[in-house]
Amino acid sequence: APGVFQLACLLVELDTADETSRVLCADALYQMGRAEEAHRLLSLALSRNPHRAPVLARLALLQLKKGFVHDGNQLLQRVIRTGDTSCLLPIMDIFKDEDRKLMQSHCHFQALAILK
């Protein structure tokens, strides 16, 4: 993760408008346990493009991780409204095991609540 973070930072310096490099940087920060910094980067990316599903999904996990279930739900609903839920599966590979389980159980619980 530190090497990926350094590379992503260099890419951001080369092209400050490159959103993909910012997301890569945020993923590396998350992997290094620096969730608050990752959250700031993702929030900045979201302010530039509010309908970017991969950014919304990452932010949803960070909100759930903090215990902000309502905010996490709203972000997940925004992912669904974009129509691009295909981003969720690859993102799950990035999440740490405990966070992957948190997201899966949360989504499963919400799906059951909707079905009831």
Count how many domains the chain has.
1
Mean pLDDT of 110-115: 82
Q: What is the pLDDT of residues 37-89, one digit of tens each?
A: 999 999 988 888 888 899 999 999 999 989 999 999 899 889 888 888 888 88
Residue 110 predicted with pLDDT over 90: no
Residue 92 predicted with pLDDT over 90: no
Contact 84, 56 (CB under 8 A): no
Q: How many CB atoms lie within 10 A of CB 20?
A: 13
> What CATH number is associated with residue 110?
1.25.40.10
User: If pLDDT is split at 50, 70 and 90, which confidence band does 5 have?
Assistant: confident
Q: What is the pLDDT of residues 8-45, one digit of tens each?
A: 888 888 887 888 888 889 999 999 999 999 999 999 88
pLDDT of residue 71: 92
Residue among 109, 104, 82 at smallest CA distance from 93: 104
Task: Look up residue 74 and give its amino acid.
Answer: Q
pLDDT of residue 84: 85
